């Protein structure tokens, strides 16, 4: 079985993973009544920029794992 990057491409697979995570996080947030999401503007800039690190990490994983999967 081929991995997601070989089927849809590296960045598309990272995007799909992030969409899935966003849906799950939104469900948890809605389950908690919205939490304190209105205070997002008070977060430091580096917290908001941490998503770029997540994209880099997922891209690295998606690129390096498929060669080790059985065919």
Residue-wise pLDDT tens digits, 24-43: 999 999 999 988 888 989 99
For residue 18, how many C-alpha atoms fall within 13 Å in the half-sphere facing its CB?
16
Domain assignment of residue 28, yes or no:
yes
Considering the domain boundaries, does residue 70 fall inside one? no
Total count of domains within the chain: 1
Identify whether 19 is part of a domain.
Answer: yes
pLDDT of residue 27: 95
| Cα-trace Rg, the chain | 16
The residue among 30, 21, 31 whose CA lies nearest residue 57 is: 21
Per the structure, the complete domain to which residue 19 belongs is given by 4-65
Which pLDDT belongs to residue 35?
84
Does residue 34 sit within a domain?
yes
Q: Which residues are CB-neighbours of 8 under 8 A, at least 6 positions away?
A: 16
- In this prediction, the residues of the chain whose per-residue pLDDT falls under 50 are 1
Could you tell me if residue 71 is inside a domain? no
pTM over the 0.75 mark? no
Residue 5 pLDDT: 66
């Amino acid at each position: 079985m081929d991995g997601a990057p070989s089927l849809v491409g590296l960045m598309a697979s990272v995007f799909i993973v992030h969409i899935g995570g966003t849906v799950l996080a939104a469900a948890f947030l809605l389950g908690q009544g919205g939490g304190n999401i209105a205070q997002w503007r008070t977060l430091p800039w580096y917290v908001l920029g941490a998503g770029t690190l997540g994209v880099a990490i997922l891209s690295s994983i998606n690129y390096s794992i498929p060669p080790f999967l059985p065919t």
